[in-house]
Amino acid sequence: MKTYKLTAFEATGEKIVDESFQAENDHAAKEVGEKLLAEKDLLQKTYRCTSPSGKLLLFHS
């Protein structure tokens, strides 16, 4: 399992979510990230999900 990072921001730049989660691979991490964002009602906020190597998996501004 690899550790991925999910971060979301308000329009002001204030960080509202900064959490790590485990996933088997990048594809699974995208699914987990999207699920977490939907659960927290953050799909319309600015967010990013990155892999352990720094690869950007999800992004919305």
| pLDDT tier, 29 (very low <50, low <70, confident <90, very high otherwise) | very high
Q: How confident is the model at residue 23 (pLDDT cuts 50, 70, 90)?
A: very high
Give the separation between CA 39 and CA 13, rounded to whole angstroms.
21
Is 56 in contact with 48 (CB distance < 8 Å)? Answer: yes
pTM beyond 0.75: yes
Residue 32: count other Cβ atoms within 10 Å of its Cβ: 18
User: Average pLDDT in the 42-52 region?
Assistant: 97
